[in-house]
Amino acid sequence: MTARGDFVARFGGVFEHSPFIAERAYDEGLAIVPLSAKRVHDALCLIFRRATVEERLGVLRAHPDLAGRLAIAGELTEDSRKEQAGAGLDRLSPAEHARFTELNAAYVEKFGFPFIIAVKGLNKEDILAAFEKRVGNSRDEEFTTATAQVERIALLRLTTMFPET
C-alpha cells in the first residue's frame, strides 16, 4: 500500500464515511510527519472547512441517528457504536427510545441531516436536553453547530488513535 493509501486507511473514517477528506489532506501535503492527533485534526478540519456546502452536508448525513435504526440493527461503525454505548444510548428504556426516535424524525425533517453531538463525557439525559434545545435552532445555526460537533468527534477519535499526544 502507498503512503497515501496508508494515510487514508488510517484516517479516512475519522469523518464518518468520508474518506475524501483524508485523501485531499494527503494530496495537499498536509500529512505532516511526525503525525499527531493535533496535526492530523488540523489538516482534516482544514479540508472539511474548504469542502463545498453540499460535501459538508454529505458528511453530516453520513452520521447515524442517535439510538436509531442502525444502532438497533447493529450496523453502526465501530467508532459510533462505542461512542453511543459510552453515553448509555444502547441501554434506553422503551420510553426513552421512543423520545429519541421522535426527536430524530423531527430533527431530520427540519434540517435534512441527523442530530450530531460529540457524546463522550455526556449521558443520555445531557444528550436529550441538547437534542430538545437544538431542534429549535434555525437551519443555519444548526448547520454551524453540527459541523463543529463533527470536528469535535474527529478530534476525540484521533485522540484515541494517538494516546501519547
Give catalytic residues, as residue numbers.
Answer: 63
Q: Cβ(80)–Cβ(16) under 8 Å?
A: yes
Q: Cβ(146)–Cβ(21) under 8 Å?
A: no
Of 73, 99, 95, 71, the residue nearest 85 (C-alpha): 71
Instruction: Label residue 88 left, alpha or beta by phi (over 0 means left) and psi (-120 to 50 means alpha).
Output: left
Burial class (CB in 10 A: 0-12, 13-18, 19+), 100: buried
Give the Cα separation of 114 and 131 in Å (integer).
11
Which three cell numbers, joined as nine digits, stand for 63?
Answer: 452520521
Neighbours of 110 (CB within 10 A): 14
